[in-house]
Chain A
Amino acid sequence: MATTLTKGPSQTAAQHARPSRRRIGERPNWLGGAISWLWLLVVIVPIYWIVITSFKSQSNYYAENPFAPPSEPTLANYQMVIEADFIRYFVNSLVVAVGAVAPAVAVSFMAAYAIVRGGGSRFLRSTNSLFLMGLAIPLQATVIPIYLIIIRLHLYDTLLALILPSIAFAIPLSVLVLSNFIRDVPKELFESMRLDGASEWGTLWHLALPLTRPAVVTVTIYNALTIWNGFLLPLILTQSPEQRTLPLALWSFQGQYSINVPAVLASVVLTTLPILVLYVLGRRQLLAGLTAGFGK
């Protein structure tokens, strides 16, 4: 019974290592199961519909059963979307995502390290409180001053205009998740690094970073996802088609080709594909990181 008192990582690890197959096995959880499978259907059906429809010609779209696989699959929609400057919007999104995520994760990691290691300092405590407060501030509320700042910096209608605020708004959550993980690094390891004469920077780089790599991957993917899908900042901070990112291009494409549903859905697939690849690659870390980051 002593285990009820300690919620240490070792205990939870033991739980994970030994799924109690025979323990709960008495009676299946019918309600939870039914809802979960029903929900799966609700999630999957629209996605299935998007994918199959994107391979249909416009005339087949109107003629066929919406859930029937395309009778004459065509890549014409994809060709059309790619010819409509998809590559340019893709590159724009990539520049913004990489340009914002890399610095955001770097500065957040440094801050999280400082907050965990120097947690008692008043400056760091206030900094942490400020970041935590940032979690409650809706980005939308600050876009008018951001618009003003971007104009005054002569950055309106540039990709940098999207990058700078994106970094700022990635910081609160990144610091929260990263500091949660850095806190789990045993204090003895930090002590022994210190006794060996390592600097804080060296400790951060050679101890904290390698040990918290899953968390770093988590916040990288999460921020990439958020920024890749960002809509409001591109909407108000850019103007010319040359600076469009994918979600905005999708929106204007929809306005332009609203009658051609298969083509619009092909563009939905194309804009989602890169993030899907990223998800498949980093899925384990992302799920583990998010559940640990929020569920603690």
Chain B
Amino acid sequence: MSVIPLPSGRNVPPAAAPGGRGASALPWLAVPALVFFVGFGVIPLIGVLLLSFTSWDGLGDISVTGFDSWRAVLADPGLPHALWVTFLVMALSWLVQTPASILIGVFLAGQQRYRAVLAVLYFIPLLLSSAAIAITYKALLDPNFGLGAGLQIDVLVQDWLGEPALAMGVVIFVVSWQFIPFHSLIYQGGVRQIPRSMYEAAELDGAGRVRKFFSITLPQLKYTVITSSTLMVVGSLTFFDLIFVLTAGGPGDATRVLALDMYKRGFQANLMGPASAIACILVLVGLVLALLLRRLGGRDASASQLEGA
């Protein structure tokens, strides 16, 4: 292995290779992962851009049609609507999840005995598949046979998935139900990294719990907030299965997010070209948001991981 030159043609820096011989094998260890990731991650990513300039029904031949798909998609009023719904889901679920996750995370990082038990139970929603969660909530919210009818509580007897605003509310609630546990665990981890001595110093200065929270905990959690928000925001672009099973984008197009729009155009209407254009927009939105959050934090979560190297 050691005689084969590095793929990059460069030498391993002295820090990593004082011994020379063995170190040159290092880059090769990364190759299998790289091959898989390029083959089914990077190439499809390039492929989706190329396919957006073609016409393909999913079965027959692929023909190059230039900007036709893009023109069709950009002229379609469905696109601004899907974008709006996507941002709405993203923003609302962030607004619900972040404060709740921070509070729960701070609480879980505290000293009470039930903390561990709570953390165990909190994690259960993450074990269920989105399909299972969506199916459960569909049954729970059924206006005729669901919870409201069963308990005979009139307020709960609503056509939850039949009214646009209610359906959006249900989507946000179910998303939060599934993911607040995860994000509160991230915050719990973040809080535990805050040096005790900072609190001790604040206490000597007579700071109360609220003051300590806003002056120490929250600022110290800055990068955790960014990590968690990045995961939430990029993750919200992938709420396909949950919405697909729960509302199928309905009622009407009220919960038709971009990912669902892409699926419906591509795999139901057999318009792979326009669907690919939508996918490109999805990637663009994801990257822009990730970069924006990174700018916001001064450094991104991944860079912070590398600093310790």
Contacts and interface: CB of A to CB of B under 8 A. Distances in A.
Given A15-B196, A225-B127, A250-B135, A291 B189 contact: yes
Contacts of A128: 306
A17 interface: no
A121 B16 contact: yes
A213 interface: no
B151 interface: yes
Given A168-B41, A296-B304, A118 B26 contact: yes
A115 B306 CA distance: 10
Contact of A268 (B136, B234, B276): B136
B262 A136 contact: no
Given A19-B111, A168-B36, A272-B127, A264 B196 contact: no
B interface: dominant SS: helix
Interface residues of A, number: 129
A116 B309 contact: yes
B254 interface: no
B89 interface: no
A107 B308 CA distance: 23
A20 interface: yes
Contact of A138 (B29, B131, B137, B282): B282
Interface stretch (B70-78, B160-168, B224-232): B224-232
Given A16-B192, A29-B110, A247 B29 contact: no
Interface string B62-100: 000000000000000000000000000000000000001
Interface in B116-156: 118-132, 135-140, 142, 145, 147, 150-151
Interface in B1-32: 6-8, 10-13, 15-19, 22-23, 25-30, 32
Interface in A208-238: 225, 228-232, 235-236
Interface residues of B, number: 126
Contact of A65 (B13, B150, B198): B150
A287 B119 contact: yes
A171 B38 CA distance: 11
Interface of B: 6-8, 10-13, 15-19, 22-23, 25-30, 32-34, 36-37, 39-45, 47-48, 51, 56, 58, 100, 103-104, 106-108, 110-112, 118-132, 135-140, 142, 145, 147, 150-151, 177, 180-182, 185-190, 192-193, 195-201, 209, 224, 227-228, 230-231, 234, 237-238, 240-241, 244-245, 259, 262-263, 266-267, 272, 275-276, 279-280, 282-283, 286-287, 290, 301-302, 304-306, 308-309
Interface of A: 1, 3-4, 7, 11-12, 15-16, 19-21, 23-25, 27-29, 31-33, 35-36, 39-40, 42-44, 46-47, 49-50, 61-62, 64-67, 103-104, 106-108, 110-111, 113-124, 126-128, 130-132, 134-149, 164-165, 167-169, 171-172, 175-176, 179-180, 183, 194, 198-201, 203-204, 225, 228-232, 235-236, 246-248, 250-251, 254, 261, 264-265, 268, 271-272, 275-276, 279, 283, 286-287, 290-292, 294-296
